[in-house]
Chain A
């Protein structure tokens, strides 16, 4: 299929699951939020996936999203806020620091483009929100799923999903977007030798084939909820409503992570330049990881990555 020809069947299937999933999401959240809050939150995130494109094959989904946004600007049109592009295969995919990401058929590979409309405080939590959405989605299918700070999704200690978030400004009007590249190992089970020990797929974990359109629909709903939650909390902040409890997104992240309490290695690029070993004791209000050194002193890291030093703890 040519690069710029969207496949409507995949999109129609995905879209057909959304109404029921949105109703289910509201039902599920009722214990922690009022009905009206649920509706407001899902509405705030409702633009995510409003434009959804699917391709058989792309070099990189983030590059395709960038091209589309730039083209829209050149034609004097508004960009699709919440544009989601997915492809069955990516031929030039990469992770952070240009690490290899194997993206063959069977996985869900894509990009969400969000216009930057958030306050810096909320935007700083975007990485966590994406991770929470992904982990919540994976937990619909498998129980043994946990988040590793910042937003790696692990199943029994092996990587199931990862994200690459890049900001960019459009060339003419300098409108700022966050491009969120997402990659889920779903039905793909054949990994290159250097990834085999550290990667897994949802089909391998569950023993069942995963419906890609259904998985994507669940992920879109979880993204709508968690990104909507950022905007909702932001409104409360701007309205100066007294907030005695922790930010809802941070509470959600803490409920899904297995990082806290773990002995780990930290580094900005932990593979090529590991910096130190410490114990994770919590996260602060900006999502920074609080790390305790052996001498008892603590540091908070707002960037970089961690790898656990002990064997995985069962979720």
Chain B
């Protein structure tokens, strides 16, 4: 965990550019065709169950199968690599960028993610807390739960196969929960953020500082 945080520098960066440039990458190899145009506004999936797809960004064709890829965040299409139109691309190739405006909460989360010990999702699946952990959260709240290396903390559920997940980081308090039981989490996305108890004051300082700065600037 990083103890030496230069608040001035980080906050100056966010003040100067309260945006995140979200790279949109090829989901797999194939021939790419862009559907969005430069400066288009993009919206993520919506509807009560997120059943309405986000703004269509591009199509990718592999072995006659066409997959339409939609935006998962809101923002403005700020860059498109037009030279790739109709070309075969590798999986992971950056195709375009969305300029996503950050909210105060997102900035706090972004800073916390640099500070907390993150436990990422091993597979795209649904997750829920182990029964003992959930019981503690229900009774006393997440931040009363301390996790030790080797503790069974989560269960990953994919196609009715449940896999227990064991915590393997530094001992700490369950500070942030990034998933909702019943909703899928993409592989690599953080599930929880853990903070060693002695560093909780530092976290609180970050939150107070960002809130004060942002509120003073009159931003959301």
Contact with A along B102-134 (1 / 0, CB 8 A): 000000000000000000000111101001000
Query: A276 in the interface, Cβ–Cβ < 8 Å?
Result: yes
| Residues from chain A with Cβ under 8 Å of B52 in the complex | 295, 297
Q: Is the CB of A127 within 8 A of B131?
A: no
How many Å from the CB of B164 to the closest CB on chain A?
7
**Total number of B residues with any Cβ neighbor in A under 8 Å:** 24
| Residues from chain A with Cβ under 8 Å of B163 in the complex | 166-168
Q: Is the CB of A268 within 8 A of B182?
A: yes
Taken together as a complex, chains A and B put the C-alpha atoms of A24 and B160 apart, in Å, by 31
| Residues from chain B with Cβ under 8 Å of A147 in the complex | none
Q: Is the CB of B47 within 8 A of A293?
A: yes
Taken together as a complex, chains A and B put the C-alpha atoms of A165 and B123 apart, in Å, by 16
Partner among B49, B159, B164 whose Cβ is within 8 Å of the Cβ of A125? B159
Query: A304 in the interface, Cβ–Cβ < 8 Å?
Result: yes
| Residues from chain B with Cβ under 8 Å of A125 in the complex | 159
How many Å from the CB of A26 to the closest CB on chain B?
29
How many Å from the CB of B129 to the closest CB on chain A?
13
Q: Is the CB of B159 within 8 A of A126?
A: yes
B 35-81 contacts with A by CB, 8 A: 47-53
Query: B181 in the interface, Cβ–Cβ < 8 Å?
Result: yes
How many Å from the CB of A12 to the closest CB on chain B?
32
How many Å from the CB of A287 to the closest CB on chain B?
6
User: Most A CB atoms within 10 A — which of B123, B160, B164?
Assistant: B160
User: Most B CB atoms within 10 A — which of A167, A178, A303?
Assistant: A303
| Residues from chain B with Cβ under 8 Å of A3 in the complex | none
Is the interface on chain A under 10, 10 to 19, 20 to 34, or 35 or more residues? 35 or more
A 266-315 contacts with B by CB, 8 A: 267-269, 273, 275-276, 286-288, 293, 295, 297-299, 302-305
Query: B158 in the interface, Cβ–Cβ < 8 Å?
Result: yes
| Residues from chain A with Cβ under 8 Å of B181 in the complex | 268
Query: B25 in the interface, Cβ–Cβ < 8 Å?
Result: no
Query: B29 in the interface, Cβ–Cβ < 8 Å?
Result: no
How many Å from the CB of B135 to the closest CB on chain A?
12
| Residues from chain A with Cβ under 8 Å of B164 in the complex | 166-168
Q: Is the CB of B182 within 8 A of A163?
A: no
Q: Nearest CB to that of A125 among chain B residues?
A: B159
Query: B184 in the interface, Cβ–Cβ < 8 Å?
Result: yes
| Residues from chain A with Cβ under 8 Å of B158 in the complex | 124, 302-303
Q: Is the CB of A96 within 8 A of B49?
A: no
| Residues from chain B with Cβ under 8 Å of A275 in the complex | 49, 182
B 149-205 contacts with A by CB, 8 A: 157-164, 181-182, 184
7 closest residue pairs by CB, A with B: A268-B182, A167-B163, A297-B51, A165-B161, A303-B126, A150-B160, A127-B159
Could you write out 21 A-B pairs with CB less than 8 Å apart?
A96-B162, A123-B161, A125-B159, A126-B161, A127-B159, A127-B160, A150-B160, A164-B162, A166-B164, A167-B162, A168-B163, A168-B164, A268-B181, A288-B159, A293-B47, A297-B52, A299-B51, A302-B158, A303-B125, A303-B158, A305-B160
Question: Which residues of A are in contact with B by a Cβ distance under 8 Å?
Answer: 96, 98, 120, 123-128, 150-151, 163-168, 178, 267-269, 273, 275-276, 286-288, 293, 295, 297-299, 302-305
